[in-house]
Structure 1
Amino acid sequence: MNKNRKVLVTGADGFIGSHLTEMLVRKGYEVNAFCLYNSFGLKGWLDFVAPEIKNNINYIFGDIRNYDSISKAVKSNNFVFHLAALIGIPYSYTSPSSYVDTNIKGTLNVLEACRKFDIEKLIHTSTSETYGSAQYVPINEEHPLVAQSPYAATKIAADQLALSFFKSFNTPVSILRPFNTYGPRQSCRAVIPSIILQILEKKEFISLGSLMPTRDFNYVSDTCEAFEKICISNKTTGQILNAASEYEISIADTVKEISKIMNSKISIISDQKRLRPDKSEVNRLFGDSSRLQELSNWKPKYKGLDGFREGIKKTIDWFINNRNNTLYSDNNFSL
């Protein structure tokens, strides 16, 4: 791809968005980073990237819930990576209307803007949570969609909106459905950072929710590579594509792997505040990414138990740095 191609990343200030923005800059793209407007001019995690990256990003402040805001940002770009969303499942129980406004109405605004300005491709971000608990494994893109949380319901709706624009208006949309992404900068509302941070705090007892669910964890650089591979492939338009490491591990075994690497002996307490409602817990996620691999030549680098361990080591190394871990408080696990 020509390095002069212009791309917009919505949600660039977030966990995955900041990594994607950083990767695209390093690969020579002209990157416009759409960050949530705030009176302090804060750019989220992009405030913490290396100066040579930070200084090569064009920052745009706005809100995807406002059409004028996102429309001005989309104009003149070749490609749009749409990652802006509310993603915390616990907060979706408290404020589902916020998720409707951001995840559904916000996505509609992005779609309308991409249609208006004839964007070459929009890569819309979905989530493996749209599948609910696995009815069969590995989960491919034909698996039924089951909303087990208000968050998942809004993501299903956003996905369907994106597909409807492809079918109704021929808007060039691709949908990336990552399984559980982890890595540096992730919020401590997620289980892996929560475990690491509690061990760093020298806690004898670690508070977690259910230990039985299994997950297919994707290291963040693999997820970011999937975004770019979909963007540059001429076979992915109109497609829903899973990005999965194709390795399944329980939360209990994830704790064991992290504690081994950190050389820590711990006990686990089941914290009622961290448990999802019974019918809302997604008990099993184990993905099939063969379609993505076939259509884009993407392959996960952090695959299997060895790949998971390598990704966990890199994540731990980042969190061990005091400059990084002091930004967190595990008490805010739900955010």
Structure 2
Amino acid sequence: MYRILVTGGAGFIGSHFVRRLLRRDDVSRVTVLDALTYAGHTENLGKSLLDPRLTFVHGNILDAPLVDELMARHTAVVHFAAESHVDRSLTRAGTFLTTNVLGTQTLAASAGRHGIEKFVHVSTDEVYGSLSEGSASEDDPLRPGVPYAASKAAGDLVALSHFQTYGLPLCVTRSSNNYGPHQFPEKVVPLFITSLLRGEKVTLHGQGQHVRNWLHVEDNCAGVELGLYEGKPGEIYNVGGGTDLTCRNLTAKLLDLCGKDWDSVTYVPDRQANDLRYSMLWDKISALGFRPIRDLDEGLAETVAWYRRNPDRWAPLTRTPYVARTTDATTPAAGEEARAH
């Protein structure tokens, strides 16, 4: 039976993954460690909090004594916790490095001391940097272009060094952009949806031609689950297979679903740090049996419907100073939570 510590488990992707774990018969304990910063909320866990196998711990991955105490009770770790929003990383790079690099070091070192059987470090396609053509494989060099991506790339290397140096049974997953219900409204999909539902305009940088691959959060969680159960220690697995869209094309879909037209869109000059295109090959995770199953149009419709039904969950959040009302498609996948937990 598995006893699994999930960092950042009250964030967007982490909470979906926790619910997935609790549907398994071979999991006897799930502990969520989350700092409950602005993007993490226990409400994301919903009815899972009633499951006697789930324990929630409010704490920080940089708290080494707490991490050690929790690590001793578990057999596996899935590490989502991270600072994740690109725009915020441009002005708070130090915070991103502290959480995403030193936090990962704290967890990996503790996992080694306590003989953890499997450690999954969740990362992002942004570590490969912008690609004008082709797609990145797991063996390609890392060329992060913004502080967020640089901090995740550094965290990946720290994590992998614990396999190489100490034999920690660790693998890394890197996913493309995630979308779905419960996402904090600073990333482009929930930001545009909540803005449009409030009757506000949304903003595109440049001509909206930045290309991202969109993967439903449940599909990403399926990939992370495969990494946990089937992933080979020391390996990296790209979790892709979603749908490539320009930000303009994504905006068109969201306008239609929200019953708005292009009068709700304004354009601003592109910012300097704005990678044009991300793309990954995902043959390795496919060989383990991974197949994304969520259709983009159905997934976006489901996501818009969730935000329509749950204004009490997101309306208060849009009034915080953390939500940038101007954004683009440069949003990470994993982490949300991964997203500052």
TM-score with structure 2 setting the length: 0.87
Q: Give me the CA root mean square deviation.
A: 2.1
Aligned to 2:34: 35
Deviation sequence 1:39-80 (CA, Å, 0-9, x none)? xxx994332433354443111222111211211121121110
Which of 314, 318, 323 does residue 329 from structure 1 map onto?
318
Aligned to 1:116: 113
For the residue of structure 2 that corresponds to 1:81, the secondary structure is: strand
Tell me whether 1:145 sits opposite 2:138 in the alignment: no
Q: Give the direction of change, closer, same or farther, for the CA distance of 1:5–1:181 in structure 2 (3 Å limit).
A: same
Deviation sequence 1:98-123 (CA, Å, 0-9, x none)? 11111110000011011001111100
Report the residue type matching 2:297 in the other structure. R
Q: Give the direction of change, closer, same or farther, for the CA distance of 1:53–1:245 in structure 2 (3 Å limit).
A: farther
Identity of aligned residues (%): 24
Aligned to 1:316: 304
Aligned pairs, number: 318
Structure 1 unmatched ranges of 5 or more: none
Tell me whether 1:286 sits opposite 2:279 in the alignment: yes
Report the residue type matching 2:296 in the other structure. F
Answer whether contact 1:128 1:179 (CA < 8 A) is retained: yes
Q: After the TM superposition, which residues 211-230 of structure 1 pair with which residues of structure 2 at under 5 Å, given as runs? A: 211-230=208-227
Aligned to 2:329: none
Structure 2 unmatched ranges of 5 or more: 325-338
Q: After the TM superposition, which residues 101-180 of structure 1 pair with which residues of structure 2 at under 5 Å, given as runs? A: 101-180=98-177
Aligned to 1:242: 238
Answer whether contact 1:26 1:53 (CA < 8 A) is retained: no
Report the residue type matching 1:324 in the other structure. R
CA distance in 2, matches of 1:220, 1:54: 22
Report the residue type matching 2:35 in the other structure. L
CA distance in 2, matches of 1:47, 1:207: 29
Tell me whether 1:50 sits opposite 2:42 in the alignment: no
Q: Shift of the alpha carbon at 1:206?
A: 2.1
TM-score with structure 1 setting the length: 0.89
Answer whether contact 1:47 1:54 (CA < 8 A) is retained: no
Answer whether contact 1:247 1:286 (CA < 8 A) is retained: no
Which of 247, 251, 257 does residue 251 from structure 1 map onto?
247
CA distance in 2, matches of 1:5, 1:202: 47
Aligned to 2:289: 297
CA distance in 1, matches of 2:92, 2:105: 20
Q: Give the direction of change, closer, same or farther, for the CA distance of 1:227–1:25 in structure 2 (3 Å limit).
A: same
Answer whether contact 2:19 2:48 (CA < 8 A) is retained: no
Answer whether contact 2:39 2:184 (CA < 8 A) is retained: no
Highest relative contact order (Cα 8 Å, sep 6+), 1 or 2? 2
CA distance in 2, matches of 1:224, 1:215: 19
CA distance in 2, matches of 1:48, 1:112: 29
For the residue of structure 1 that corresponds to 2:121, the secondary structure is: strand
